Structure formats: structure tokens, C-alpha cells
Structure 1
Amino acid sequence: MVLCLPLTVPRVLGFEIYTVVSGSMEPAIPTGSLAYVQGAQPEEIEEGDVIAFYGGRESTAIITHRVVENNTLEGEFTTKGDANEKEDVSPVPYRELIGEVAYTIPTLGWAAQTLTSTWGKASAAAAIGGALVLHLLGAWIRNRREEREEG
């Protein structure tokens, strides 16, 4: 239940949540981190801000990189992953911007991906079911003991 809080509360507050699956932003954002992204006006993004954006018109990939330049005249960003030697090949048009990364939580992304997978959901359901069975069994044993002591 507690693991659900980092996934649900921020969504209510307007954040999009993504799992970082590559090392392009290490060490600042380790692989497996959860990135919390809040919508932002492209013109307000500054050099050094970390943004999340779509990887291109035909791509569903979401990329998280640092802004090297915000070209407001052309309506595009120049970006670069911290661990990459060079800037990204193509500039990022404003229309591809998802938002600015507000904060990250290392490692929690892997847990979130696991819990939202079919296997993860089945495992969580089995764990909850097992805990319920143990609770009921404990209550039954306690009641039997009390009955024997009374009778």
C-alpha cells in the first residue's frame, strides 16, 4: 500500500511519472529512477533544466535530457544526456515537450514497473491473499484456544 503512494499522489497533483530506462542522465538520474514531470511553458525552460519529451513524430519513446539551449526564435531545444559526449542529433521542437523534471526517486522505477506488470500484479494479489489467509488462520486458532480454555 505504501509503495502506491509515490505513484498515485503525484498524479493527483498533476505530475506525469516515468521510469528512466537508460543511463544517458547518470549520475544525476540513475537508471531505474522514477522521474516526476510537471507541465511547463517551453519559453520558461532554462539552460540546465532537465526536460522530458517525445523522441520524435513517429516515436512513442520518452526521453529525459538536459537543456543545453532554448532557442525561442525557432521554438526548439538543444538537449544532451549528462553521460553522453555530444548533444542530441536533432533539436527538440516545443510541440514534443512533455514537461520539466521536478524530482526523481532512484530505484523506485524498477519497483513500479514490476508492480504494474502482469507478473507483478499477480504476485501482489498472491501476497495479499496469503496475508489474509494467515490472518484468518491466526484468528481461528485463537478462537479455538479460547473455547478450550472456557470449556
Structure 2
Amino acid sequence: MQLRKKWLKLISAALLTVLLSCLLSAVFWPEKTSQFIGYRFYTVLTDSMEPIIPTHSLVFSKRIDEDEPLQPDTIVTFHANRFGKDILLTHYFKKTQVKDGITYYRTQGASAKDYDNYETTRSDIIGKYMFHIPYLGKIFLFLKSPFGLLMYAELAVIFLINRVIRTRWEEKDKEIKEKEKALSEVKKQMQKRLSITKLTSFIDMNDTLHLHGTLTNYFPEAVSYIVAKLTFYDEQKHELFHEKWYLCGKEGILAKESKDFSYTHLHAKDIAHYHIAILSYKNMEDTQE
């Protein structure tokens, strides 16, 4: 399950990266991007095609080859020279006109009464209009503005901070898991090397619990200060209480030696089940002065 989630996370991140890359490429390198994907989109800045295409709409056009025929009244996207500046327009193609041996494509806006004054040739036409999304062009204008560039920088900083935090969390999580694994191994060793046997218990007439058992040390060295957790339950095995108890104190227990221990608790009439788990111990050599 975790492997599946990891793969889904990687695939999602890859798809998001591809989409963002395509978006940024389309914003900053539209010509090269359109050659690669076959489509181009841009923002309509004028009302020349209203009400067909509202101002600030995001227009999607499909690239066409120069030898592809065009039918009159086809909406096309083309380069135009407006006051010495190259711009993109999306207007109706109306008809062709030959002048001085050159074929020009006459275009016209939806709200215009006459043809455009641009001398548009076939090489100027880059694609056919496919569809548009109203008002979405404003977002692309913002992305290309200085404020948009500032937003990219802020997002980059946020991303880097997020990666640093996530990396630190992952390292911390790894450390915790390693400690938990080591602790689990220690507990397993304690269960194997410090064995509790001959457990007996009874509750007397004064509702006092008397618990007796034998502890055997299978470690190759003497140990002391053996702490156990005693947990007590009722008939339905609901926990009543728990506490820590020294099965062995400073006197310690030698290797391969067994030692009896006892535990007493008052007001224990509701106790029906119990469990003992060893928590920690110390080597005798470490506790000697």
C-alpha cells in the first residue's frame, strides 16, 4: 500500500511539473511551444471580434501548414504589423486578393464594416481559431507582468522553504523510526534474556492483591534495577490501572540466576487479569561505584 502511494505521489508530482512547464513555456516562449504541441493561445486585447470573442478572452488556435487551403469566413490567427510592431490578431478571413503578383489574404473583425488594412500573406497566418475561454486572458497578462515575475520568485522561495522543512521532517521521522526499531530490538532481547515464570496471584479477604513470580536472567552478565510495567484489567479486559515496579533493585541478579519477586496492591477486588512487561534494566558493572 505504501509503495502504491509512493508511486501515485511521484506520478502526480511529475504530471504537475509537466503542466507547469508547459504553462510557463506557453507564456514566455509561445512560438516554440506552439511548434511542439501544435496549438497556441494568447489574450485578446481589443474588442474587434466582439461579441464572438470578448476582450481579455484566452484564444486557442491550431497551427496549420502554409499549403492548407482556407475557406472564406474562417476565423484565423495571424501576424500583423501595427505601427511597426508585430502583433497577433484573430479575425475572419474573407477572401484573397492579388496585388503586384503577390497574393494577400483580406481579413476583417467581427464588428468592423471594412476589411483590415494589413497586407497579410499566407506565411503570416499561423493557425485556425478553435475556441476561447472568457476573461482567462487576464491571468496570462498578469503572469507576464513584473508582478507575475515577483509571484514566481515568491513561489520559488516558498517551494525551497517547504522542501527544507519536509527534508528535515523526513530526517527526523527516519531518526524516530530507527530509535523505535532499536528500542523494539532491546525489548525483544529483554523478553528473551529476562524471563518471568511461575506467576501466581490471589486476592485475600481484605481485597488485597498478592502477586508472586520468578525472574530468570539469561544475559551473560549480571543485571540490576530491572523495571517492569504492571497493567491490570477487569473482567471485560478494560484497563483499570498500571504502574512501574522494580522486580530487582540494586542487589541485582547474576547471570543464569533466578530470583523470586512479589507485588502487593490494596483495594484490588475488581482485578481479573494482569500483564507484566519489562521496560528497562542496568548492567551491574555500570551501577558499581
Give the TM-score normalised by the residue count of structure 1.
0.69
Q: For the Cα contact (< 8 Å) 2:90–2:129, is it kept in 1?
A: no
Using the TM superposition, give the Cα deviation of residue 13 of structure 1 relative to its aligned residue in structure 2, in angstroms: 3.3
* 1:81 is the counterpart of 2:109: yes
Match of 2:124 among 97, 101, 105: 97
Give the Cα separation in 1 of the matches to 2:67 and 2:121.
Answer: 6
CA 78–108 in structure 1, closer or farther in 2 if over 3 Å, else same: same
Quick check: which one's helix share is greater? 1
Q: Relative to total residues, which structure has the larger strand share, 1 or 2? A: 2
Q: 1:40 to 1:29 in 2, by over 3 A?
A: farther
Q: Is the 8 A contact 1:15 1:39 kept in 2?
A: no
Give the Å deviation of 1:133.
0.9
Q: Which has the larger radius of gyration?
A: 2
Structure 1 residue runs of 4 or more that deviate by more than 6 Å after TM superposition: none
Secondary structure at 2:86's aligned position in 1?
A: coil
Q: 1:108-132 CA deviation, whole Å, 9 max, x = no partner?
A: 4333332233331231231132133
* 2:55 counterpart residue number: 31
1:19 aligns with 2:51: no
Deviation by residue 1:37-76 (Cα, 9 ceiling, x = unmatched) = 52443782221111223135834233221112233x4422
Q: What SS is found at the alignment partner of 2:149?
A: helix
1: CA distance, partners of 2:68 / 2:176: 76
Distance 1:122 1:31, change over 3 A: same
Which piece of structure 1 moves more, 85-94 or 136-145? 136-145
1:5 corresponds in structure 2 to: 22
Range with greater deviation from structure 2 (30-39 or 118-127):
30-39
> What is the identity, as a one-letter code, of the residue corresponding to 1:47?
P
Alignment size in residue pairs: 149
Q: 1:37 to 1:21 in 2, by over 3 A?
A: farther
Residues 96, 87 of structure 1: CA spacing in aligned structure 2 closer, same or farther, 3 A cutoff?
farther
Q: 1:29 to 1:41 in 2, by over 3 A?
A: same
| Aligned equivalent of 2:92, options 47, 50, 66 | 66
Deviation string 1:75-105 (CA, Å, 9 cap, x unpaired) is 22332212x1412352633267232334244
1:48 pairs with one of 50, 63, 73: 73
Unaligned runs of 5+ in 2: 1-16, 181-289
Of residues 140-149 and 41-50 in structure 1, the stretch that sits farther from structure 2 once superposed is 140-149
Q: Compute the RMSD of aligned alpha carbons.
A: 3.5
Secondary structure of the corresponding residue to residue 113 of structure 1: helix
Identity %: 19
Other structure's SS at 1:30 match: coil
Cα deviation for residue 139 of structure 1 reads 4.3
- Of stretches 113-122 and 35-44 in structure 1, the one that deviates more from structure 2 is 35-44
